[in-house]
Chain A
């Protein structure tokens, strides 16, 4: 019948579903085990008189079982609520387990101590903010990275930026810019107009990009920069629908700023040239051909810098 020795022999040497053997020792997964080790004296199944401490929502309870109730699993465990005060809890254990084997009392008290310490620690930790580790689904991340790359390629950022800048320039947001290459600007505007008239694929290529033809190099070397610059600027100011900043139209200002702007223009030209070279290299000869072929329809309105 209910003989502890028999039960222990069967459990230990045959099969116990709570036994967990690891390389460091044998442990018991039974929630009622006082020490957590699979032991003749710690096995809640093989000891008909047993006690343990378990916690439920932060409240500790003393659970006890006796042999009188061994055949009623429903009512096997009797539980006593432990007071918050640690010393009082120890007394309660003593009171309830007065005539019980000393070992069991000792282990129960040890367990109570450990659980109280854990409770204190948990409460302290709960006050501190701890960073929560969120798992990142790698699939999503990878998918988004891929899509980002594709979107970047599709967006043609440089082109749209250039377009936007041109638009702004046209609108007159940049009121005081003297040193942009007017001829190029006009060229592009013409291209745009042509493009609007004849909706062709070339439009995409011509419109936004300020392209520099090779002939420009000779120009820079041969011509006098000041004259060139001055001519261009003056004419532009006559014609453009730029800002109403009249200060810019003063000759004096022009003269003063000419020199400065020329220098700046030079730099811009060189940088622009680099751009041009890159773009030339990247794009086909078709572009250059197209540029030459374009005819200026509204030559009257715009005065072009002759070069």
Chain B
């Protein structure tokens, strides 16, 4: 929602044991503004948590310490290898197979399984940086489940007087003063016996995670004071562990920084422009989008002013109609089609009519005059035919031939 301010200041919470100076403030290190990438964190966390594993395997000889041989066919038993010998229950029992009782398991586990995972250093650093940035967002810390309703500010920075705390009772008082007690209390109340076999495998108790206290000076007394409080963990700022920053792969641990630790963050991780001093050649990763609030960008004036108006009516393709069947469409394509069709129709009508007339005429009984005319015509034609074919009267012939004999 808000663009990252220039360098917002984080006020340092003062404890009772502090001198009565006004609460000073520290600028926010760039790490806290880095890109939050939960996917990288999940991946790296998954890989890294495999590195503390101890190998387990079954004995390599398990299930094979028999001299069993298959009895082969013909004995009305299955062909599984059977234990040789006699005189005991074990004789004749199946051996070697994963399906046999007392046999070796399927794919016996081996110690040379690849237990550990290598992760690129940049990726590991990216994950840590993301986790630190997420710890500065109150919503994410709340979503992870920490009780931070009474915390005065996030990220929570405490004056260096906290590093000098020696007694656990004093440490508890410090937590109460800065509003971190509900979280520690939540962790204490949640202690329960683990469900499952783990309780018999030296993992008897489970509890929630409380705050993580990060200190800056080596050998601070704070370590011994805070380490016995249930749920509270401590870390030195130069040795931040992703498994503590994002327990379970979930970003947003509640972190309590001491002032010196907070001020070292810039040096350890660098800024967006400056290289890190402690990590050789490392620069903070850049986000794909500096301003990730897409909705706000779209609705901003700059974008809205150049954007085309919304098309309310959507043009849809019309249904194709066949011109050969649909006259209107045909006319759109070929206007002459109308005239042609008209002419064709008329001609057709005429033809039909003529034929009909002809047939009618033929079917109609002819009148006497017509009949006599036809008769006489046929007679005269016959006569001419005869006379023409009469060779004796060749004068008629020469008429045609036009040749003189």
Contacts and interface: CB of A to CB of B under 8 A. Distances in A.
Interface of A: 1-7, 9-11, 13-18, 45-46, 48-49, 67, 70-76
Dominant secondary structure of chain B at its interface with chain A: loop
Contacts of A17: 142-145
A16 B146 CA distance: 11
Given A15-B250, A71-B153, A72-B152, A7 B38 contact: no
Nearest to B149: A73
A48 B142 CA distance: 14
Interface of B: 1-2, 4, 32-33, 36, 38, 42, 133-134, 136-140, 142-145, 148-154, 179, 248, 250-251, 291-295
A71 B138 contact: yes
Nearest to B2: A67
A188 B149 CA distance: 87
A53 to B, nearest CB: 18
A2 B137 contact: yes
Contact of A67 (B1, B136, B248): B1
B250 A5 contact: no
B150 A3 contact: no
A75 B148 CA distance: 11
Contact of A45 (B4, B134, B139, B152): B139
9 contacts: A1-B4, A3-B1, A17-B142, A48-B2, A71-B138, A71-B154, A73-B142, A73-B148, A74-B150
B139 A1 contact: no
Contact of A10 (B4, B148, B152, B251): B251
Contacts of A76: 138
B142 to A, nearest CB: 6
Q: Enumerate the 5 nearest inter-chain pairs by beta-carbon distance, A residue then B residue, closest first.
A: A17-B145, A45-B139, A16-B143, A15-B250, A3-B292
Given A2-B2, A74-B149, 14 more contacts: A2-B1, A3-B292, A5-B295, A6-B292, A10-B38, A10-B134, A11-B139, A11-B140, A15-B144, A16-B143, A45-B140, A73-B138, A74-B179, A75-B152
B389 to A, nearest CB: 113
A4 B36 CA distance: 12
B50 to A, nearest CB: 20
Contacts of B133: 1
A11 B153 CA distance: 21
Contacts of A45: 139-140, 142-143
Contact of A14 (B33, B150, B250): B250
Contacts of A3: 1, 291-293
A15 to B, nearest CB: 4
Contacts of B145: 17
B27 to A, nearest CB: 14
A73 B293 CA distance: 22
Nearest to B4: A1
Tell me which of B32, B38, B291, B294 has the highest count of chain A C-beta atoms within 10 A of its own C-beta. B38
B228 to A, nearest CB: 26
Contacts of A72: 152-154
A75 B179 CA distance: 12
B32 to A, nearest CB: 7
Contacts of A1: 2, 4, 32-33, 133, 136-137
B294 A10 contact: no
Given A71-B153, A73-B151, A74-B152, A7 B140 contact: yes
